[in-house]
Every structure is written in C-alpha cells, then in structure tokens.
Homo-oligomer: A and B are copies of this chain.
Amino acid sequence: MKNNFDYKILQKDTKSKARAGEIHTPHGVIETPCFVAVGTQATVKTLSPSDLKTIGVELLFGNTYHLHLRPGEEIVKEFGGLSKFMSWNGPTITDSGGFQVFSLGQKKITLFADDNNTEVDIVSIKDDKVIFRSHLDGSKHEFSPETSIKIQKKLGADIILCFDECAPHPLTHEYTKAAMDRTHSWALRCIEAFKDPTTTYFKQAIYGIIQGGVYKDLRINSAKFITTQNFDGIAIGGVSVGESKKEMRDVLEWVTPFLPDEKPRHLLGIGEVDDILDAVFYGMDTFDCVIPTRFGRYGIVFAYPPVGNVKNRFRYDLTKTINAKDKGPVIDGCKCYTCQNYTKGYLHHLFKANELLAYRLASYHNMHFLVNLTKEIRKSILEDRFEKLRKKWLKT
C-alpha cells in the first residue's frame, strides 16, 4: 500500500461497467460507489461533522481556492490538516483550485484603492501559471501546478487533485485542445511537485484529471495521456460546466474504456440522481456535488419515487403553499432525522420565516437522500442487481 492509500474492487457488475470497491486512506476506508459531500470552506454548509457521520457520509471535498484565501493553508496545516481542522476526522479530498479560478475567468472587477477605479480581468491564464484576484478583497494571487500542489500538501487531504484548466463552456476545438495540452503539461509538473519530500507533511494520494471538453478525439487523447502517468486515481473534469446531460454520458462512453481497473475514479461536480446512476453504470466510483446543501437552502428537497421521478428530477419545492398544512414528513418512509421528526408544514413555516433551522433540516434530508442512494447502488452491485435498480429509478 503506497502512502497508506489503496483501492480494491469487491465486485464487478455483469451487465454494466459498475463496480463496488473500497478506497483505503490514512483517515479510513471509503466504500464505493460513494457520494462525496462538498465542504467548500472546511464545512459542509449547515451540517456538523456529527450529522455527516450519522448520515453515513464517508468522504468530504474541500476547495483549495477558498481554503487558500481563508483561513490559509498554513493554519490548516498547523491544526493537523483539513480533516482534523474541521473535526471531521475522516477521509478528505481537495480540488486543485483550478475550477474556481477558471470560473472567475469570465468576470471583471473594479479596483478602488490602488488602481484608480480601473476595470481589470480577474484571471489571466499563462502557460506556466494563472494569475487571479481574490473574490473577497481583490488581492492578487497566483496558482501554478507547483503552488497548487504545495497548498494542497499543506491542507493535507488524503486525496489531492492535479491543477488543470477547466475552461467555461462552450469553447472551440482549438481552444479546448490548447487548454488540454496545458492540463497535460501541468499534470507532469504536478507529479514532480507532489514527489518533493521537502514539501511533504501528510500521507496523500494524487489523482490526474482528464479534460478535453465535448470533443471525442480530445477526450480520448486526454484519457490515454492521464491514465499512463503515475497517478493513484483518475478524475474526469469538465462534465458539469454547461454541457447537457447527454454530453456527460458521451464523455463517459468515450473515456471509460481507457481507464485502468485498478485505480479509483472520481467524476467531478455530479450529483443529480440520474447522473449518478449513469455514472456508476459507466464505472465511476465517487462523485461530489453541492446540490444537497445548495438546494436545501432554497427549500428544494429530494424525493424517492413515486413522489420523485425523472420528470421532476426527484425533487420538489417545500416553500410552495401546498405544504403549509401538510402533517406528513418530507418523504414517507424516509429514515433521515428530518423526516423522522418534522412535518412538511413545520419546515414550510421555517422557510417562510427565514429560520436557519430550515436550511439545516432540508440539507440534512438531501444529503441523506444522495448518500443513501449511493449506498443502495453499492448494495445492488454486490448483489448483482444494479441494472434492475437503475432501470427502476430511471423509469419513474
């Protein structure tokens, strides 16, 4: 086992590429397929680590861009790394900071103090690095493959990601190829930076990221390149930034034949029910998404069939007046804390009154729903009935 990191397949599905496995990390075992809770600023919005443990969350996703700006990687390192800093004490993964930085790329900001009200680009992409301004205070920062890895080594997550260019959709083939080439050359620099023992504080594993936008040739090119480097796992990026649901499936169909069995696979930014079912179908192991807590704060709650179905995307809006007098739980039969203890009518009231408990209880239900879905998926793979389960959900 390299760096206390290992991946084992327990069962491969006979009717799809789905697999049930185990990722071993210094902070514990992750049973896959697994929905990964996003804790952007070292907290999963509204939920405590104890809530997450009770729900059954096994892996937390932190954002390097946000943690670098606040509280800063030095503080996180001093507290013993991300997992300990936030009292989660379980497995964690961080992104490279690239996604957030490139998301800033289409915005401009006006600077006041120093710059005479000049309007400047927030992001400037160069072949060797990216220069950007903080969304918090406009201060100037740089991310390069080397700085991203150095920061992630201080944040100390069990799994860290390569610094890649995840450019906003839509893009020409020409630009996408240039971004992919940058991503590949950065991948090699990330591997070198990762190896450097003088910047190593924790036991960590590193995943490479396959890019290539919506172009088949580029995706295959990228899959071939990334899978032949010395990475502990493989991530697929850029499928959540504006492409259609069909395009996500196309990318998985093109890319997955090149993925080695023995490495764990993470799909970045995916969290809708049908997307998770299909991602597992194509052999993906883990998926992260802010959906459960973001929707939770808006009063949108996930629903099992028959209330939830493909058409309503397995969710409904608790803030609608129809819920005001409803004495039932969010979903009949749901075993989560929220559904076991509170009525729709009460939750509706909390949302109308803008009470913080509303956001927490709805986020709790949503997180439980998606974590429970992936646990059910895992069980079905182990019992060789995943396709039946998938079709049951997708036919609703």
| Residues of A participating in the B interface, judged by any CB pair closer than 8 Å | 41-43, 45-50, 66, 70-71, 75, 78-79, 85-87, 324-325, 327, 337, 341-343, 345-346, 348-350, 352-353, 355-357, 359-361
Contact across chains for B352 and A70 when beta carbons are under 8 A apart: yes
Closest to A66 in B: B353
Whole-angstrom CA separation of A382 from B342 in the bound complex = 37
CB distance from A42 to the nearest CB of B (A): 7
Picked from B50, B86, B346, B352, the residue with its CB within 8 Å of the CB of A87 is B346
CB distance from A51 to the nearest CB of B (A): 10
Contact across chains for B46 and A346 when beta carbons are under 8 A apart: no
Closest to A337 in B: B50
Q: Collect the chain B residues with CB atoms within 8 Å of residue A42's CB.
A: 346, 349, 353
Contact across chains for B325 and A355 when beta carbons are under 8 A apart: no
Closest to A80 in B: B327
Whole-angstrom CA separation of A43 from B87 in the bound complex = 27
Whole-angstrom CA separation of A45 from B349 in the bound complex = 13
Contact across chains for A355 and B43 when beta carbons are under 8 A apart: yes
Whole-angstrom CA separation of A337 from B49 in the bound complex = 11
Q: Collect the chain B residues with CB atoms within 8 Å of residue A66's CB.
A: 353
Contact across chains for B355 and A75 when beta carbons are under 8 A apart: no
Instruction: Given A75-B345, A79-B345, decide whether A45 and B359 contact each other with a Cβ distance below 8 A.
Output: no
Most buried by B among A337, A341, A356: A356
Contact across chains for B357 and A48 when beta carbons are under 8 A apart: yes
Copies in the complex: 2
- Given A42-B349, A46-B356, A48-B361, 7 additional A-B pairs, CB 8 A: A42-B353, A43-B357, A45-B357, A50-B341, A71-B324, A71-B349, A356-B359
Contact across chains for B71 and A343 when beta carbons are under 8 A apart: no
Contact across chains for B48 and A360 when beta carbons are under 8 A apart: yes
Q: Collect the chain B residues with CB atoms within 8 Å of residue A46's CB.
A: 356-357, 360
Q: Collect the chain B residues with CB atoms within 8 Å of residue A49's CB.
A: 341
CB<8 Å pairs between A and B, sample of 22: A41-B349, A41-B350, A41-B355, A42-B353, A43-B357, A46-B356, A46-B357, A46-B360, A47-B357, A48-B357, A48-B360, A70-B352, A78-B325, A79-B346, A85-B349, A86-B346, A87-B341, A87-B342, A87-B343, A87-B346, A356-B356, A356-B360
Picked from B70, B85, B341, B352, the residue with its CB within 8 Å of the CB of A353 is B70
CB distance from A99 to the nearest CB of B (A): 18
Contact across chains for A71 and B355 when beta carbons are under 8 A apart: no
CB distance from A11 to the nearest CB of B (A): 36
Whole-angstrom CA separation of A126 from B361 in the bound complex = 43
CB distance from A299 to the nearest CB of B (A): 15
Contact across chains for A70 and B357 when beta carbons are under 8 A apart: no
Contact across chains for A324 and B70 when beta carbons are under 8 A apart: no
Counting from the closest, the 9 A-B pairs by CB-CB distance are A71-B349, A41-B353, A46-B356, A43-B357, A43-B355, A87-B341, A87-B342, A70-B353, A356-B356
Whole-angstrom CA separation of A75 from B356 in the bound complex = 21
Q: Collect the chain B residues with CB atoms within 8 Å of residue A346's CB.
A: 42, 79, 85-87
CB distance from A66 to the nearest CB of B (A): 8
Q: Collect the chain B residues with CB atoms within 8 Å of residue A357's CB.
A: 43, 45-48
Whole-angstrom CA separation of A356 from B359 in the bound complex = 9
Closest to A293 in B: B356
Whole-angstrom CA separation of A359 from B359 in the bound complex = 13
Contact across chains for B356 and A70 when beta carbons are under 8 A apart: no
CB distance from A270 to the nearest CB of B (A): 24
Instruction: Given A349-B70, A357-B48, decide whether A327 and B79 contact each other with a Cβ distance below 8 A.
Output: yes
CB distance from A351 to the nearest CB of B (A): 11
Most buried by B among A75, A341, A349, A352: A349
Contact across chains for B70 and A355 when beta carbons are under 8 A apart: no
